[in-house]
Amino acid sequence: MFDTLTEKLAGVFSRLSNRGRLTEKDVDEALREVRVALLEADVNFRVARDLIESIRKRALEAQVFQSLSPGQQVVKIVYEELVAVLGEGHRGLEPSPQPPSAVLLLGLQGSGKTTTAAKLALYLRRQGQRALLVAADLRRPAAIQQLVTLGKQLDIPVYQESGATSVEAVCRNGLERAKSLGVAWAIVDTGGRLHIDDELMQELEQIKAAVSPAESLLVVDSMTGQDAVRAAQEFHQRVGLTGLVLSKLDGDARGGAALSIAHVTGVPVRFVGTGERPDALEAFYPDRMASRILGMGDVQTLVERAQQEIDEKQAKELERKIRHASFDLEDFLQQLRQLRRMGPLTQIMEMIPGFSSVARKLPADAMDERRIKRVEAIILSMTPQERHHPELLNGSRRRRIARGSGATAQEINQLLNQFKQTQKLMKQMASGKGLRGLSGMLR
Query: Which DSSP string do the residues of 291-359 spell out, in sequence order?
Result: HHHTT---HHHHHHHHHHHS-HHHHHHHHHHHHTT---HHHHHHHHHHHHHT--HHHHHHTSTTHHHHH
The per-residue pLDDT for 188 is 94
Other Cβ atoms within 10 Å of 136 Cβ, number: 28
Q: What digits encode the pLDDT tens for the residues 334-352? A: 777 777 776 666 666 666 6
Residue 272 DSSP SS3? strand
In Å, how far from its chain's centre is CA 406? 33
The per-residue pLDDT for 391 is 87
Domain borders along the chain are: 3-86, 101-296, 302-442
In terms of average pLDDT, the best of 56-65, 147-156, 223-232, 369-378 is 147-156
Whether the pLDDT of residue 17 is over 90: the answer is: no
CA-to-CA separations, 9 to 60, 95, 175, 357, in angstroms, rounded? 19, 39, 48, 11
Which among 401, 408, 395, 277 is positioned nearest to 347, based on CA atoms? 277
Under the banding of pLDDT at 50, 70 and 90, the label for residue 254 is low
Q: Do the two domains 3-86 and 302-442 of this chain adopt the same fold?
A: no
Specify the higher pLDDT residue, 364 or 395.
Answer: 395
Q: What is the mean pLDDT of the chain?
A: 81
Residue 217 DSSP SS3? strand
The per-residue pLDDT for 217 is 94
The per-residue pLDDT for 344 is 66
Cβ(272)–Cβ(246) below 8 Å: yes
C-alpha torsion angle, residues 14, 19, 25, 27 (rounded to 10): 40
In Å, how far from its chain's centre is CA 305? 10
Q: Which of 45-49, 170-174, 200-204, 335-339 has the lowest mean pLDDT?
A: 335-339
The per-residue pLDDT for 213 is 92
Euclidean distance between CA atoms 281 and 247, whole angstroms: 9
For 30-88, the DSSP string reads HHHHHHHHHHHTT--HHHHHHHHHHHHHHHTSHHHHHSS-HHHHHHHHHHHHHHHHH-S
Under the banding of pLDDT at 50, 70 and 90, the label for residue 28 is confident
- One-letter amino acid for residue 134 of the chain: V
Residue 258 DSSP SS3? helix
Euclidean distance between CA atoms 107 and 193, whole angstroms: 8
CA-to-CA separations, 41 to 44, 103, 194, 244, in angstroms, rounded? 9, 31, 25, 20
The per-residue pLDDT for 75 is 82
Q: What digits encode the pLDDT tens for the residues 368-385? A: 677 778 888 999 999 999
**Architecture label for domain 302-442:** Orthogonal Bundle (1.10)
Beta bridge partners of 218: 106, 244
Euclidean distance between CA atoms 221 and 86, whole angstroms: 17
Euclidean distance between CA atoms 351 and 121, whole angstroms: 25
The per-residue pLDDT for 153 is 94
- CB within 8 Å of 434: residues ≥ 6 apart: 425, 428
Rg of the chain (C-alpha set): 26
Specify the higher pLDDT residue, 67 or 219.
Answer: 219
In terms of average pLDDT, the best of 100-109, 156-165, 189-198 is 100-109
Cβ(41)–Cβ(2) below 8 Å: yes
Euclidean distance between CA atoms 289 and 218, whole angstroms: 20
Whether the pLDDT of residue 220 is over 80: the answer is: yes
Under the banding of pLDDT at 50, 70 and 90, the label for residue 304 is low
Angle between helices 3-17 and 24-40 (to 10 degrees): 170
Q: Which CATH superfamily is domain 3-86 in?
A: SRP54, nucleotide-binding domain (1.20.120.140)
Whether the pLDDT of residue 432 is over 60: the answer is: no
Whether the pLDDT of residue 435 is over 50: the answer is: no
Whether the pLDDT of residue 265 is over 50: the answer is: yes
Whether the pLDDT of residue 247 is over 80: the answer is: yes
Which among 276, 275, 264, 271 is positioned nearest to 288, based on CA atoms? 271
Tell me the mean pLDDT in the region 118-146: 91
Which among 263, 293, 243 is positioned nearest to 87, based on CA atoms? 263
Percent of the chain at pLDDT above 70?
Answer: 79
- CB within 8 Å of 29: residues ≥ 6 apart: none
C-alpha torsion angle, residues 324, 328, 332, 333 (rounded to 10): -140
Cβ neighbourhood burial of 272 (10 Å; 0-12, 13-18, 19+): buried
The per-residue pLDDT for 349 is 63
**pTM for this entry:** 0.70
Euclidean distance between CA atoms 267 and 288, whole angstroms: 18
The per-residue pLDDT for 163 is 74
Bridging pattern class, strands 243-247 and 215-221: parallel
Under the banding of pLDDT at 50, 70 and 90, the label for residue 173 is very high
Whether the pLDDT of residue 437 is over 50: the answer is: no
The per-residue pLDDT for 11 is 81
Q: Is the dihedral of CA 39, 41, 47, 48 positive or negative?
A: negative
Residue 157 DSSP SS3? coil
Euclidean distance between CA atoms 245 and 379, whole angstroms: 40
Q: What is the DSSP letter of 269?
A: E
Q: What angle do CA 90, 95, 97 make, to 5 degrees?
A: 140
Specify the higher pLDDT residue, 365 or 249.
Answer: 249
- One-letter amino acid for residue 261 of the chain: I
- In CATH terms, 101-296 corresponds, of 3.40.50.300, 3.60.20.30, 3.40.309.10, 3.40.80.10, to 3.40.50.300
Q: Which of 41-45, 272-276, 324-328 has the lowest mean pLDDT?
A: 324-328
Tell me the mean pLDDT in the region 129-156: 91
Under the banding of pLDDT at 50, 70 and 90, the label for residue 322 is low
